[in-house]
Every structure is written in structure tokens, then in C-alpha cells.
């Protein structure tokens, strides 16, 4: 089943809530490069792919609600974290700056390499980490993803903590 965190809508079945959304992003979801995000963990136990689906779907809904470009919001939301590495270890291994400051540029470069993007989609991907990347958003759709990304990250982190407590009975690791 494919659904966004906190949503009751099954995106893998055709229904009025998912049909339009899937028509906008199914080509991306089926691409090998986007599917590679399933191999990396984002927040808690959520894969980068699932995180991007979460952000993409809610970005789409909010943009649609406010008569913004829901297509660009959905597509850029699915590509906004297309960095294709485990950010938990990458910085240490590569000696690079903090992931939060750099991954938006990496995701944009990867997305441009594999897909044709509009100026709006580029802005959304490039600036989704504002204020860490300092560049000011040019579009309202970019402001939406900034908020949606943080909200989804929070939900995913809390879900991971809840799962850990449920599984181990404690938030703290037991010493061996």
C-alpha cells in the first residue's frame, strides 16, 4: 500500500483523492532513480522515498487548496530529497559540510540530470531547506514545501520514536 504518513488515502488504488495526484507523479515514481530512494533512511525508520511521497502528497493537497501550481508542488515534492546517499553516515565518510546545508543542491543537480524541470520546480527543490540554504524562496509553492517538509519530518521522527518505544519498551538503548 502506498500512502502518505497520517493519511487514510491509499495512493496505489484509483480513487478520487489519488487519481489526479498519481497522474502527475506516476512517471517519477516508476523511474529507477526515484525508486533508489527506497534504499536510504530519512527520519526514524521512514525511507527517503516514503518521506518524499509524504511531502509530495501534502504539497499537492495544499497547493491545490490555495489554487497554486499543484503539479509543480507534487513533482518537486517527490524530487526534493533526491540526494541518493545515507545522510547519517555520508558527512562523516566524505568530510563534507552538514547535510542540511548541502543536500538541496545535490537533489536539484540529480533531478535536473534525470528529468526536465520547470523554473518553479527548480526553486522548490533548491530552496526547500530555507533558512539553512539562505536563498529566499521566489514562489508561494516553495514556501509551502518549506513548511510541509518540516511537518512531515516531525511526524516521521515521532512515528520512529513511538515504534522504538513500542518495540523495546524504552526510548533508551539497553547497555550490553
Q: Could you tell me if residue 92 is inside a domain?
A: yes
**Measuring CA to CA, how many Å separate 119 from each of 13, 63, 154?**
31, 17, 28
Span 76-101, mean pLDDT? Answer: 72
**pLDDT tens track for 143-157:** 999 999 999 989 888
Q: For residue 171, name the pLDDT band (cuts at 50, 70, 90).
A: low
- pLDDT score for 88: 55
CATH number, domain with residue 155: 1.10.3210.10
The residue with greater pLDDT, 18 or 75, is 75
Comparison of pLDDT for 15 and 22, the residue scoring more: 22
| Owning domain of residue 129 | 16-168
Total domains in the fold of the chain: 1
Amino acid at each position: 500500500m502506498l500512502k502518505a504518513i497520517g493519511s487514510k488515502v491509499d495512493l496505489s488504488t484509483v480513487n478520487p483523492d489519488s487519481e489526479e495526484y498519481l497522474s502527475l507523479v506516476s512517471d517519477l515514481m516508476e523511474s529507477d532513480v526515484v525508486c533508489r530512494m527506497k534504499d536510504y533512511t530519512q527520519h526514524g525508520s521512514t525511507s527517503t522515498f516514503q518521506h518524499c511521497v509524504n511531502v509530495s502528497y501534502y504539497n499537492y493537497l495544499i497547493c491545490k487548496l490555495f489554487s497554486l501550481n499543484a503539479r509543480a508542488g507534487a513533482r518537486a515534492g517527490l524530487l526534493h530529497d533526491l540526494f541518493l546517499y545515507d545522510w547519517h553516515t555520508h558527512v562523516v565518510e566524505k568530510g563534507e559540510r552538514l547535510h542540511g546545508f548541502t543536500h538541496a543542491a545535490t537533489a536539484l543537480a540529480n533531478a535536473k540530470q534525470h528529468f526536465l524541470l520547470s523554473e518553479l520546480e527548480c526553486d522548490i527543490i533548491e530552496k526547500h531547506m530555507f533558512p539553512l540554504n539562505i536563498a529566499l524562496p521566489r514562489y508561494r509553492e516553495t514556501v509551502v514545501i518549506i513548511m510541509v517538509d518540516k511537518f512531515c519530518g516531525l511526524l516521521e521522527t515521532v512515528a520512529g520514536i513511538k515504534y522504538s518505544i513500542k518495540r523495546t519498551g524504552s526510548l533508551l538503548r539497553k547497555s550490553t
